[in-house]
Amino acid sequence: MMPFRKEIAFRLAALTGLTEAEIETCLEIPPEAALGDYAFPCFILAKRLKKSPQAIAAELAGSIEPCEYFERTANAGPYLNFYLRRAYLFAKLLPQILREGPAYGRSMEGEGRTVLVDYSAPNIAKPFSVGHLRSTVIGSALCRLYRACGYKTVGINHLGDWGTQFGKLITAYRRWGEEGRLAGEPVQYLYHLYVRFHQEAVKEPQLEDEARSWFRRLETGDPEARELWGRFRDLSLADFQRLYRYLGISFDSYMGESDYNDRLTGTIELARTRGLLMESEGALVADLEPYGLPACLLRKKDGAALYITRDLAAAIYRHETFAFDRMLYVVGAEQTLHFQQLFKLLELMGFDWAQSCLHVPFGLIHFQDGRMSTREGKVIFLEEVLQKAVELAREIIEEKNPGLREKDRVAQAVGLGAVIFGDLINDRIKDVEFDWDKVLDFAGETAPYIQYSHARICSILRRAAEKNKGGSSAAGPAGEGAPLPGDAAQDWDLTCRQHICDTNRAAQGQALTLLGEPEEEALVITMSRFSEEISRAVRDNRPSCLARYLLELARSFNKFYHNCPVLTAAEKLREERLMLVAGVRIVLENGLAMLGIEAPQEM
Ligand code: ARG
């Protein structure tokens, strides 16, 4: 990472007695360029030093010398502001970005450490609804972010593949099931059966008994029950996997709730030997009241284990198997109590790694308008949302750029990107209001806006490459950034890449001396913050940090491009500006990839 934060922390630590980590966390980015590039809020020291923050800021400003990275510091009210040396950014940072290309932004911060991420975890029979969208999108972004920081990640899909709902499904399927429909649309059909079961059970209450008995048979290994359950599970899993492939997501493990069946007795025994369990009418209960938590049931009186029992067994198994340094559960905020109980139980069972487990909660998602049809009751299927998004993206592209090649691929990248980013841009703990017009707005706080900025840069580079090739007339008189006409565009991808490499080579030899407009400075300064924002996203498990940052960079690019011509600038300046935008392109592409979003080269 660029050493700016570290450098400030190092210097201030010596002067203030705060630790470097404390300083790094409290450093702020000032709201306007005039106030510098980093600000240290001196409030933090006021109490300890018994002085006003203003006085502290003034004193500190007087005792910090300029250095390679910072040209000056200045106090402004209670803040101590640091001004980065522009020449350093243009001469060192930009060439570094161009040199590193796809690797830029990656670090080895987490080298040698393993993070396990439990995410997505849909329930079989209950549909993969948009509620699971959040876990899927946030969890996979976290995996990518941790990997970018050098951690080893293990993504686990803790499938909800066991429970009384299977007794209901087996009952329903044996009565009304149709083989063909099950094979055709398993997830939706099983949900349909589930809904039907509940409707019929109102009229015919003995259905509930039948379902209970089937679940018991399943638990005791009855072949017919096992066979049906296995079929439901396999078909649903294949269906989920199709969706994950579409989203570009893969898991390291699909061990679900049912996979812990043979570890439940051992887990309960362990809790018992630790003196954690009381018997209450045949059921086994852990009393957590001394710890301010409600008691929790680990085994029902009929012998059945519960969700939390399986989670205990899973956590222990995972620690044995993966020796994780950290385990994240990306699960909705409504399960907060469940995870408090789980972690407390693990601690009481004697596992000191319990403190490495963290619940990463998120809020609900609401759909705003009627464009989404809900087939069954209130449930919205994720698949429908994704299809809708891609369809709408396709319509917009058709309207804006009817001549675009590979429209389907681009529509998919834009549609899926819009849904993913529409989620990730929000502070995860807040509820999300999902509004189609908003997430697909090419000028809004959206993935399409960032993707469009990226495509614009590609187009600039492409045209520059064409010019370089010997003034091929294909570059023609069209305005900057306009798509190339037919033939010349054939190998644009290649030429564009070549050009980036040329710029690359150029950057190694020569210092950039002509850049210095405020928009150019703003761009390079924003680029310098990339790795910091990644670290912050990882530290707080908040992909929104990176999402917001990418928006800011795209905005900064558009402002630059509005005020500073690239292709029509004088030759040397043009080359330097090309390097600048090539750098922006790299950061946008790498950043989007870390969120699981593609950056098409044309849009
Ligand atoms: N299947 C659960 C649900 O949809 C989420 C499981 C989360 N992971 C876990 N280890 N409990 O509510």
Q: Where are the domains of the chain?
A: 4-84, 119-260+324-366, 385-594
Is 430's pLDDT higher than 70?
Answer: yes
DSSP label at residue 491: T
Residue 123 CA, closest ligand 1 atom number: 1
Is 124's pLDDT higher than 90?
Answer: no
CA of residue 181 to ligand 1 center, whole Å: 27
CB burial readout 315-348, b (16+ within 10 A) else e: bbebbeebebebbbbbbbeeeeebbbbbbbbbeb
pLDDT digits (tens, 9 = 90+) for 126-164: 767 777 889 999 999 999 999 999 999 999 999 999 998
CA of residue 256 to ligand 1 center, whole Å: 9
Residue 126 CA, closest ligand 1 atom number: 4
292 CB-contact burial (10 Å; exposed 0-12 / middle 13-18 / buried 19+): exposed
Residue 338 CA, closest ligand 1 atom number: 11
Whether CATH 3.40.50.1980 fits 119-260+324-366: no
Higher pLDDT, 501 or 58: 58
Report the CATH fold assignment for 385-594: Isoleucyl-tRNA Synthetase; Domain 1 (1.10.730)
Residue 131 CA, closest ligand 1 atom number: 4
Closest of 423, 466, 430 to residue 447, by C-alpha: 423
Is 6's pLDDT higher than 90?
Answer: no
Q: CB-based contacts of 311: which residues, under 8 Å, 6+ apart?
A: 158, 338, 342
Closest of 63, 39, 60, 43 to residue 52, by C-alpha: 43
CA of residue 159 to ligand 1 center, whole Å: 7
Residue type, 315: A
Say what the pLDDT of residue 432 is: 87
Q: How confident is the model at residue 298 (pLDDT cuts 50, 70, 90)?
A: very high
Q: CB-based contacts of 225: which residues, under 8 Å, 6+ apart?
A: 170, 214, 217, 218
DSSP label at residue 160: B
Phi/psi of residue 539, nearest 5 degrees: -60, -45
Could you report how far apart the first and last alpha carbons of the chain are, in Å?
A: 31
pLDDT digits (tens, 9 = 90+) for 315-368: 999 999 999 999 999 999 999 999 999 999 999 999 999 999 999 999 988 876
For the segment 245-251, the average pLDDT, to the nearest whole number, is: 95
Say what the pLDDT of residue 436 is: 84
Q: How confident is the model at residue 478 (pLDDT cuts 50, 70, 90)?
A: very low
CA of residue 158 to ligand 1 center, whole Å: 6
Q: Is 357 helix (H, G, I), strand (E, B) or coil?
A: strand
Residue 132 CA, closest ligand 1 atom number: 4
CA of residue 121 to ligand 1 center, whole Å: 5
Say what the pLDDT of residue 469 is: 72
Take atom 5 of ligand 1 and give the residue whose Cα is closest.
121
Is 375's pLDDT higher than 50?
Answer: no
CA of residue 11 to ligand 1 center, whole Å: 46
Q: Which residues line ligand 1 (CB under 6 A)?
A: 118, 121, 123, 158, 160, 311, 329, 331
Take atom 11 of ligand 1 and give the residue whose Cα is closest.
311
Residue type, 257: E
Take atom 6 of ligand 1 and give the residue whose Cα is closest.
121
CA of residue 469 to ligand 1 center, whole Å: 56
Residue 311 CA, closest ligand 1 atom number: 10
Is 449's pLDDT higher than 70?
Answer: yes
Computed from CA positions of residues 553, 554, 558, 559, in that sequence, does the dihedral angle turn out positive or negative? negative
Say what the pLDDT of residue 245 is: 94
How is 291-338 classified by DSSP, letter by letter? Answer: GTS--EEEE-TTS-B-HHHHHHHHHHHHHHHH--SEEEEE--GGGHHH
Say what the pLDDT of residue 378 is: 59
CA of residue 160 to ligand 1 center, whole Å: 7
pLDDT digits (tens, 9 = 90+) for 22-44: 999 899 999 988 999 999 999 99
Say what the pLDDT of residue 494 is: 62
CA of residue 271 to ligand 1 center, whole Å: 22
Computed from CA positions of residues 296, 298, 304, 310, in that sequence, does the dihedral angle turn out positive or negative? positive
Contact at 8 Å (CB) between 443 and 449?
A: yes
Residue type, 195: V
Q: How confident is the model at residue 499 (pLDDT cuts 50, 70, 90)?
A: low
Is 491's pLDDT higher than 70?
Answer: no
Q: How confident is the model at residue 490 (pLDDT cuts 50, 70, 90)?
A: very low
Is 495's pLDDT higher than 90?
Answer: no
Say how far apart CA 187 and CA 65 lie, in whole Å: 65
Instruction: For ligand 1, pick from 158, 259, 319, 328 the residue to mutate: most ligand atoms within 8 Å of CB.
Output: 158
Closest of 443, 395, 435 to residue 419, by C-alpha: 435
CA atoms within 13 A on the CB side of 19: 3
Say what the pLDDT of residue 180 is: 93
CA of residue 120 to ligand 1 center, whole Å: 8
Residue 339 CA, closest ligand 1 atom number: 11
pLDDT digits (tens, 9 = 90+) for 67-86: 888 999 999 999 999 999 98
Lowest-confidence segment of 164-178, 245-259, 396-410, 431-445 by average pLDDT = 431-445
CA of residue 182 to ligand 1 center, whole Å: 24
Say how far apart CA 55 and CA 75 lie, in whole Å: 9
CA of residue 123 to ligand 1 center, whole Å: 8
Angle ∠(446,452,458) on CA atoms, nearest 5? 145
CA of residue 242 to ligand 1 center, whole Å: 20
Is 376's pLDDT higher than 80?
Answer: no
Bridge partners for 278 per DSSP: 285
Say how far apart CA 10 and CA 21 lie, in whole Å: 9
Residue 331 CA, closest ligand 1 atom number: 7
Is 62's pLDDT higher than 60?
Answer: yes
CA of residue 361 to ligand 1 center, whole Å: 12
Residue 307 CA, closest ligand 1 atom number: 11
Q: Is 149 helix (H, G, I), strand (E, B) or coil?
A: coil
Q: How confident is the model at residue 52 (pLDDT cuts 50, 70, 90)?
A: very high
Lowest-confidence segment of 141-150, 285-294, 300-309, 375-384 by average pLDDT = 375-384
For the segment 461-474, the average pLDDT, to the nearest whole number, is: 72
Instruction: For ligand 1, pick from 324, 331, 334, 345 the residue to mutate: most ligand atoms within 8 Å of CB.
Output: 331
E-assigned strand segments in 334-488: 357-360, 365-367, 432-434
Say how far apart CA 590 and CA 585 lie, in whole Å: 8
Say what the pLDDT of residue 486 is: 44
Share of the chain above pLDDT 90, in %: 72
Say what the pLDDT of residue 434 is: 83
Residue 335 CA, closest ligand 1 atom number: 12
CA of residue 138 to ligand 1 center, whole Å: 14
Counting other chains too, the contacts that 264-267 makes at CB distance below 8 Å and 24 or more residues apart are 264/305, 264/309, 264/310, 264/313, 266/313, 267/309, 267/312, 267/313, 267/316
Instruction: For ligand 1, pick from 236, 307, 335 the residue to mutate: most ligand atoms within 8 Å of CB.
Output: 335
Say what the pLDDT of residue 107 is: 94
Element (H, E) at 74: strand 70-76
E-assigned strand segments in 133-208: 152-156
Is 380's pLDDT higher than 60?
Answer: yes
Say what the pLDDT of residue 470 is: 62
Residue 314 CA, closest ligand 1 atom number: 10
Take atom 8 of ligand 1 and give the residue whose Cα is closest.
158
Say how far apart CA 509 and CA 576 lie, in whole Å: 13
Q: How confident is the model at residue 474 (pLDDT cuts 50, 70, 90)?
A: very low
Q: Is 73 helix (H, G, I), strand (E, B) or coil?
A: strand
Contact at 8 Å (CB) between 392 and 415?
A: yes
Take atom 4 of ligand 1 and give the residue whose Cα is closest.
122
Say what the pLDDT of residue 472 is: 44
CA of residue 331 to ligand 1 center, whole Å: 7
Say what the pLDDT of residue 122 is: 92
E-assigned strand segments in 192-312: 277-280, 283-286, 296-299
For the segment 512-533, the average pLDDT, to the nearest whole number, is: 92
Say how far apart CA 415 and CA 400 lie, in whole Å: 15
For the segment 271-279, the average pLDDT, to the nearest whole number, is: 96
Q: What is the mean pLDDT of the chain?
A: 90
Architecture of domain 4-84: 2-Layer Sandwich (3.30)
- Tell me the whole-structure pTM to 2 decimals: 0.91
pLDDT digits (tens, 9 = 90+) for 580-590: 999 999 999 99
